[in-house]
């Protein structure tokens, strides 16, 4: 079975303005790498559907989903009528335009569809090349470039709709996945393990919100060898004890040493190693089932290379 690769052109159209690091060119860089390295033979491409709002409500407050729908559909309608001011700031870093509603629905929809593809045996694992990212979106707040929490939505779909008993969330983005923790803390069907730079936005994670959260804050300028050691000694025993039936990955590549939004020192070989360790756990307990969703990564060259090695490892090529 090939690795499923999910994306959609709508995810390119969400644009937070000139100079914003979370830009449409991120997906272009990944696509260019796939083409130049002949990866289509190793992946099966799928267009991301729009998520059902009931799926969103398994992770987010219904009133929040309704508020986002009203706001973002309003921007969509204004943009369709030619309004050049159809832009809304939700916080100092997070902006919506007339295409954000469609992109956010496709991003969450990709994660849910990927979950079904993997659980139905149509793919061994999956990667969702989508934006906006999701792991900062809390149960009732958009923040940190994120509107809906794609991984949390997919994890709850696997549990509440598809009937799994235990899933793990692995987050290696350089920023703490505060939104995922907010949604999933206290749900003993989920183990979340994460590693992130501290101190750094969103300035959280040093005190876990639940016993099912294993947060590993690391200081700036930590290199790959030290990160690997922490993962080996902290993540791996917890994942082995938990025995997840499926693993969801918040795949942020902004801990790369070339990424200017943080100060960690990972390189492509580290992302390959992390992916292999995740796959080893999945092979033992989850029939190899992994759904990985793009989060951060803002240096275009480093992002493309890092996603490339992540995908190659997932696909076994």
Q: Which residues participate in catalysis according to the annotation?
A: 136
H-state helical runs in the chain: 10-13, 25-36, 53-56, 62-80, 100-119, 150-156, 178-184, 224-230, 236-242, 268-285, 300-315
- Report yes or no: 12 and 100 within 8 Å, Cβ to Cβ: no
- Secondary structure class of 155 (helix, strand, coil): helix
SS (H, E, C) 133-148: CCCCCCCCCCECCECC
Cα within 13 Å of Cα(311), Cβ side: 30
Neighbouring CB atoms inside 10 A of 128's CB total 33
If one counts every other C-beta atom within 10 angstroms of the C-beta of residue 24, the result is: 16
Q: Who's near 36: CB < 8 A, 6+ residues apart?
A: none
- Rounded to 10°, the helix 100-119/62-80 angle is 130
Give backbone dihedrals phi and psi of 219, rounded to 5 degrees, phi first.
-75, 160
């Amino acid at each position: 079975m090939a690795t499923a690769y999910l994306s959609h052109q709508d995810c390119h159209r969400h644009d937070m303005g000139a100079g914003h690091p979370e830009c449409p060119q991120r997906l272009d860089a990944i696509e260019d790498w796939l083409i130049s390295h002949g990866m289509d033979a190793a992946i099966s491409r799928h267009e991301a559907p729009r998520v059902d709002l009931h799926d969103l409500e398994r992770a987010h407050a219904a009133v929040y989903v309704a508020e986002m729908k009203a706001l973002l559909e309003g921007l969509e309608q204004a943009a369709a009528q030619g309004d050049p001011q159809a832009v809304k700031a939700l916080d100092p870093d997070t902006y919506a335009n007339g295409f954000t509603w469609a992109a956010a629905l496709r991003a969450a929809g990709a994660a849910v569809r990927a979950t079904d593809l993997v659980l139905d045996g149509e793919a061994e694992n999956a990667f969702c090349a989508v934006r906006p990212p999701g792991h900062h979106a809390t149960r009732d707040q958009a923040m940190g470039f994120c509107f809906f929490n794609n991984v949390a939505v997919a994890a709850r779909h696997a549990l509440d709709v598809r009937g799994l008993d235990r899933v793990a969330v692995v987050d290696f983005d350089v920023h703490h996945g505060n939104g995922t923790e907010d949604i999933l803390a206290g749900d003993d069907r989920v183990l979340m393990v994460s590693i992130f730079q501290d101190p750094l936005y969103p300035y959280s994670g040093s005190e876990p919100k639940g016993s099912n959260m294993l947060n590993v804050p690391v200081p700036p300028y930590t290199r790959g060898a030290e990160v690997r050691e922490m993962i080996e000694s902290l993540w791996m025993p917890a994942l082995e004890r938990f025995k997840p039936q499926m693993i969801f990955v918040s795949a942020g590549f902004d801990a790369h040493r070339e990424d200017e939004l943080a100060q960690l020192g990972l390189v492509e070989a580290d992302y390959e190693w992390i992916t292999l360790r995740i796959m080893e756990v999945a092979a033992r307990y989850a029939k190899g089932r992994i759904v990985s969703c793009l989060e951060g990564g803002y240096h275009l060259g480093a992002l493309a290379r890092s996603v490339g090695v992540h995908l190659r490892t997932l696909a076994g090529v």
